[in-house]
Structure 1
Amino acid sequence: MPIVDAKKNNPFIKVGQGFLGVGRFVKQVVDEIRKVVTPTVREWIGWCVASGIFVLLLMALVMGMDFGLGKLTLWIFG
């Protein structure tokens, strides 16, 4: 019969260590947030313009598909 370490396999031994993990997580989050670089106004404007153009292109694509498939449906089913 093998010798079993009761402390090693007992799940209730680690219950009190949960809050230590939360503290470590919060510390890591704060350390990562310190690395974040705030974009300049020029970068903000560039990203806003690029996003607006992308949205307009997607709107045009969806509108064209809707119009084209509508015409195709009318042509098929008349």
Structure 2
Amino acid sequence: MAKTRESDKAVRPNVFMRIGLFIKQIIDELRKVVSPSGKELLGWSFAVFVFVLILMALVTGMDFGLGKLTLWIFG
């Protein structure tokens, strides 16, 4: 059993090597990122803006409706 532990320890890289590998993998993944064009950025920005407005309207309506319902129930 002692032989297994020694061999596992010898194969396993130390913490600094693992951190270096992690950073290398992050940099490799970041190189794959594609920046959007100006037209795409404008289109997605508009879509997010509209979505946020819809959610704001939904939450405002629920707040108003539940507030009126609470006043109606409890006077």
- Calculate the TM-score normalised by the size of structure 2: 0.80
Q: Percent identity?
A: 54
Residue 65 of structure 1 pairs with residue 62 of structure 2: yes
- After superposition, give the CA deviation of every residue in 1:24-52 in whole Å (9 maximum; x if it has no partner): 11111111111110011111111111111
Give the superposed CA RMSD.
Answer: 2.5
What is the CA-CA distance between 1:6 and the residue it aligns to?
5.7
Of 30, 33, 47 in structure 2, the residue corresponding to residue 33 of structure 1 is 30
Larger radius of gyration: 1
In structure 2, runs of 5+ residues without a counterpart are: none
Higher relative contact order (CA 8 A, sep 6+): 1
- Aligned length, in residue pairs: 75
What is the CA-CA distance between 1:13 and the residue it aligns to?
6.7
In structure 1, runs of 5+ residues without a counterpart are: none
